[in-house]
Amino acid sequence: MSIITPKLILASHNQHKLEELKNIISQILNVEIKDGEIVSSADLGLIEPIEDGASFEENALIKARSVFKQTGISAIADDSGLIVDVLGNAPGILSARWSGKHGHDRENNLLLLNQLKDLPDNLRKAHFVCAVALIKVVKSAEKIEDVIGDSIVKVGKMTGKINYRQKGKNGFGYDSIFIPDAYRSNLTLMGKTSAELTAEEKNKISHRTYALLEISKELKGIFNA
């Protein structure tokens, strides 16, 4: 049985994000992503860097560079967050640890709902931001430290509003309290949170998809699409 060398490594330990990335890239490039072609840093037991950047773009680059330096394989990372207008653009880069503990989705959601308690629709406007950083191998070498790569960073957004309660079982992060604007004219999907949408419905309009579309040319080169 042959072992597939990854074509791309996602700098994340979030398996939900890995599956979403595979689905979106497959959708954008219209190709089948085979098992092992995209793996996560968790799959390889890679060391996670300290995300001490001052922006989504900086944090995405920090993560992608860390994976590239450790492996010499093309690396991709995203840094995503929720921006709530009335909170002065918070949670922002602190979205994943808004309640004080990294990755505790339920606690993050409940805290944010409580902070917006009793506010009307016009004060619940928000948008998701996703900065995607890709470091693509442009010159291979026997030694990892000699591999040369080019980096690119792009940003995507998804506008909407914060619901009054959690709804839906799909997705992750703040999906259960975020209602996208994109489906306002769709009688079937209007008013649904991202967590009530199917993966396909969400991926058509998501901030991550818009960011990845901006680097579709580079991704085509990696997957020979």
Q: How many Å from the N-terminal Cα to the C-terminal Cα in the chain?
A: 25
User: Using CA atoms, how far apart are residues 173 and 195, in angstroms rounded to an integer?
Assistant: 9
218 and 152 Cβ atoms separated by less than 8 Å: yes
Q: Is the pLDDT of residue 124 over 80?
A: yes
The reply to whether 1 falls in a domain is no
Task: Choose between 2 and 17: higher pLDDT.
Answer: 17
Instruction: Output the domain CATH number for residue 40.
Output: 3.90.950.10
Torsion of CA 37, 171, 100, 118, to 10 degrees: 160
Residue 2 lies in a domain: no
78, 79, 105, 175: the active-site residue:
79
Q: What is the pLDDT of residues 24-34, one digit of tens each?
A: 999 999 999 99
Mean pLDDT of the residues in the chain: 94
Residues of 73-96 as b/e, b for ≥16 C-beta within 10 angstroms?
A: bbbbbbbbbbbbeebeebbbbebb
- Asked, for residue 135, whether it belongs to a domain, the answer is yes
Three-state secondary structure call for residue 137: strand
Relative to beta strand 75-84, strand 8-10 is parallel
Is residue 66 a part of any domain in this protein?
A: yes
Cβ contact 10:21 at 8 Å: yes
Q: So what's the pLDDT on residue 1?
A: 38
Domain of residue 109 covers 8-223
pLDDT value of residue 225: 63
**Mean local confidence (pLDDT), 190-205:** 95
Q: Residue 142: is its pLDDT beyond 70? A: yes
Q: Are 133 and 51 in contact (CB under 8 A)?
A: no
Helix or strand run (H / E) with residue 150: strand 148-162
Residue at 98 is within a domain: yes
Contact 83, 126 (CB under 8 A): yes
- Is 121 part of any domain? yes
What is the number of structural domains in the chain?
1
- 3 is a domain residue: no
Q: How far is CA 207 from CA 129, 140, 149, 157, 203, in A?
A: 6, 32, 25, 4, 8
Residue 153 lies in a domain: yes
Summarize pLDDT for 63-86 with one digit per residue, the tens. Answer: 999 999 999 999 999 999 999 999
79 is catalytic: yes
